[in-house]
Amino acid sequence: MQIQNYFRSYVSGVIARDKAKFEKSPAVKKAAKKEAQAALTDDVVAQIKEHAKKDAQVNVYQQKDYIQMINSHKQQRVSPNRQEAISRATLVINRAPKGKGSADLLSMLLGEYSMKAWVGGLVDTAEIYAPNGEMIAGYNSNGGWTEVSTEAEYQFLNQADQIYYDAFQEARAEINAAAENPAPEPASEAAFDARV
């Protein structure tokens, strides 16, 4: 009886993880949106708008400085700790016995993250999952590790880019309006002297 309950619980967890991985369940999307909004503090929004205005002055959309700034905020406030999970997973994969023939499945916890790996075949592969079931990194022994964006990271960048876009368009409209209607120039002293 206990084995059946454990098996049902395990299968439910796998189904939830795979659903989050492929479909991004409503609960994952809702939590991600809330996390992204919380990361967009007044200070971050002000920085985004400042970059947009600066970029609008030279009419270049999303310059390198903006991209670096927003990625830094994403890394600090929204991204999971991939590097720690990848380090632990790499250690496990490297220490796993390499048999001949078919790959062995490893499924384990890496702190708060979990990993599913196939080791010992022609190509070792692995997937790392966040606590909510989202895949955050994948591994292939021929290509190494690849980061997979979470829904929260996607939401953060999407909302930040919308703020940037609105501020950039507003600044460009002001610049264009100023170019179309230049302020009248004051009379020069030479012109004044000529009239006397």
Residue pLDDT, tens place only, 113-152 = 999 988 877 888 999 999 888 999 999 999 999 999 999 9
Q: State the chain's mean pLDDT as an integer.
A: 84
pTM (two decimals): 0.73
- Predicted local confidence at residue 130, as pLDDT: 92
157-178: average pLDDT: 95
pLDDT at 16 over 60: no
DSSP state of 92: H
- Predicted local confidence at residue 145, as pLDDT: 96
Of the pLDDT bands very low, low, confident and very high (cuts 50, 70, 90), residue 57 is very high
Sign of CA dihedral 120, 83, 17, 138: negative
CA proximity to 80, closest of 134, 160, 118, 19: 134
Residue pLDDT, tens place only, 85-103 = 999 999 988 888 776 655 6
Phi-psi region of 134 (alpha: psi -120 to 50; beta: other; left: phi over 0): beta
- Predicted local confidence at residue 6, as pLDDT: 46
Contact 97, 120 (CB under 8 A): yes
Distance CA 78, CA 153 (A): 6
Percent of the chain with pLDDT over 90: 56
pLDDT at 196 over 50: no
Contact 173, 52 (CB under 8 A): no
Residue pLDDT, tens place only, 69-90 = 999 999 999 999 999 999 999 9
CA distances from 184 to 171, 178, 179, 188 (A): 22, 11, 12, 12
